[in-house]
Structures are given as structure tokens and as C-alpha cells.
Amino acid sequence: MLELEGVNSFYGKAHILNDLGFTVQGGEVVALLGRNGAGKSTTMKSIMQLVRPKTGRVRFAGRDITGLPPYKVARLGLGYVPEDRRIFTDLTIQENLEVGRQPRREDTPHWTVEALFELFPNLLERRENRGKEMSGGEQQMLTIARTLMGNPRLLLLDEPSEGIAPVIVEQMAQTILKLKAEGLTVIISEQNLHFAKIVADRAVIIEGGEKKFDGSFLELEQQPEIRDAYLSV
């Protein structure tokens, strides 16, 4: 479904991603793990071409998308939920969802407003509320729901558990598991190892913009030196 090969990305002269490469299979949930500043968010932005790799390739569903404008990447079926959410605060929940609407795609789950309200009952209760009247956790749910209105083939979630109440974190985990059950491919960027182990099939650890580990959580547990070196605070 997705392949990164030798990706080098920069902010100005700062070299952030160093020959980064990994693959994601259809239907997988993969967790990008690492400390703050490791390069996880830049990886997400490089996939979406919001940060264009200086060298290397990004392939999605067999197509080289390197250098495409981000809106064209989105139209191909890549959905991106940024860490800072970026909802429309003066629009209602219902209106925010309509902004994200794209046509139905073949071989992908089809999301309607009604299906999303079933997935996120908190949003149904407040469907006429404006974005600025919502809590941080509710805004996170709305951002995911709005992205799903685009009927993506692959969903990128940047720090979905960051800065929200524990009860909402639990709801978020259950939501990602439901998306996986629907057959959606998901990549999450996370610092919360416990959360990642609940929802993801596989971990890719990044440090200094380089891949340090790629494998199952069982394999990670069998290599505590890797966990301690790259994930411990």
C-alpha cells in the first residue's frame, strides 16, 4: 500500500529524515514510535508531500507520488490528521464534516455522516455545536471524522492520543481498532507505547530521522535494549 525508499527531507538546511525507508501493507496498522523531535511528524508530512523529500521516493498503491501537490495526494486516497487538528472553529460539527467530503472509492470503506456519528457518538450529541465550543478530545475526533469523509485508502494519524483525557484516549483506541476491522490501512505517530501496542500490528522506531527498528511488538519486547535506547524518557 505504501513504500518509502531512501527518503531525505529537510527544513531549510536542517536534515530531518536520513535515508528513511519502510513499507506498509494493505489493512495494517503501523505505529511510528520515537521521542519528540525524532522525525515522526516530518515522516507524515513527507508522505503527504507537505514536506517534499529532497531525495528518495514515496509510492502509494503502486504509484510514485513524490513531488505531487498535497491536494492531488489526498485525491488519490491518502487521509492526513495533523497533530494540531486544524478544524474550522466557526463551523458546526456537521459543516466541518461536509468540508471533507470526497467521492466514494472502490475497495475502501465508504463513510457517510450517519456512519461517522455512529463511530463517534460524542459528535452526534453535539452536531450543531461550533468547533470552538468543543474540548480537545472532541476536536481530535472531529478531525478524524472529517478526514474519513474523504473515504481514504490509508489514514495518517499524527499523535492521536496527545493532550487528551484518558477516557478519550480509550475511545480513540477503540475507534482505530474499528477502522482496522473495516479494512482501513492506518499509520499512527505515537510516543505512547501502551496506546500503540493496543492498536498497531507493527512498530517502526525512528531516531534522528533514521529507522532504528521495524518489527512486531513481540520482537520489540524481546529487544529491551532497543526500547530503552530509543523510547525511554
User: pLDDT tens, 81-94?
Assistant: 988 778 888 899 98
Q: Return the pLDDT at 109.
A: 80
pTM above 0.95, yes or no: no
Domain boundaries of the chain, sorted by first residue: 2-230
Q: What is the pLDDT of residues 34-63, one digit of tens each?
A: 998 999 999 999 999 999 999 999 999 999
What does the buried/exposed string (b/e) look like for 10-42 if buried means 16 or more CB atoms within 10 Å of the residue's CB?
beeeeebbeebbbebeeebbbbbbbbeebbbbb
pLDDT over 70 at 157, yes or no: yes
Confidence of residue 130 (pLDDT cuts 50, 70, 90): confident
Structure-block grid coordinates of residue 138: 472532541
Residues above pLDDT 70, as percent of the chain: 100
CATH code of 2-230, in short, is 3.40.50.300
pLDDT of residue 233: 58
Between the alpha carbon of residue 64 and those of residues 1, 67, 225, the distances in Å are: 11, 9, 36
